[in-house]
Structure 1
């Protein structure tokens, strides 16, 4: 099963955007994320609807962060992406006639719900400002550049 890496990718792009003084184009983000600008625009539109980013059209336009990084949590971004499934595992059937499978489903459903609640709680405690601080500490330690256009070049 293919993993949904949109949350990771969007967080990555948002942190790069926070480092720039000018709007970032969908094309630049797509190059950095090895994606298509149309896909990036679709994802960013959801973030715009949630009030996390804004877009400017025309020459010199692009996407910018619209809210303080300390006010945006991983859970907020996850929700703006449509709350994609967190786990690839699931029950073989949702309404089994077999009593054994009913018992298995009950145990798994409880475990899945507990794990999802714990993960979402953790997502709610991590802000983009916290990720940015970690990123800055790593940049200082590595001595690398943070330019979106060059840091992801082959």
Structure 2
């Protein structure tokens, strides 16, 4: 089963964009992500429509953030990408006749709802600045391992 990595990929790009002096072209973003510029533009459109990025066409153009990394949470990005499905688990038959399968469905659906609610709350608690700070810490530890204890 393939995973939907759009959230991860867009978080990656947005943090890079937050560290850049100028706009990021779709071509450079595509190179970073190992994908096609059309895919980048299509995915970034949701972030633009939600007001987190803007695009400028032409020479010197590209994508840039409209605000600061502190102002954007992982949940914001998830929602801007279209509230894609959190988990791939599901029931075999949504309207079973078998009482055992009805009980399985009820239990599974309850557990999935609880897990999704917990995950969405966690996504709302983490800003892109938090992720960028974690990067800074990891980078410092990699460059100067003897100073970090």
TM-score (norm 2): 0.93
Aligned counterparts of 2:140 and 2:66: Cα–Cα separation in 1: 26
Per-residue deviation at 1:140?
A: 2.0
**Aligned length, in residue pairs:** 144
Counterpart of 2:84?
84
Alignment of 1:29-108 (within 5 A): 29-108=29-108
Counterpart of 1:131?
131
Kindly indicate whether structure 1 or structure 2 has the higher relative contact order, using CA contacts under 8 Å at least 6 residues apart.
1
Question: Which consecutive aligned stretches of 4+ in structure 1 deviate over 3 angstroms post-superposition?
Answer: none
Gaps spanning 5+ residues in structure 1: where?
Answer: 144-154
8 A Cα contact 2:46 2:81, kept in partner = yes
DSSP 3-state at the match of 1:3: coil
Per-residue deviation at 1:91?
A: 0.5
DSSP 3-state at the match of 1:63: strand
Identify the range of structure 1 (89-98 vs 132-141) with the bigger mean alpha-carbon deviation: 132-141
Per-residue deviation at 1:136?
A: 1.3
TM-score (norm 1): 0.91
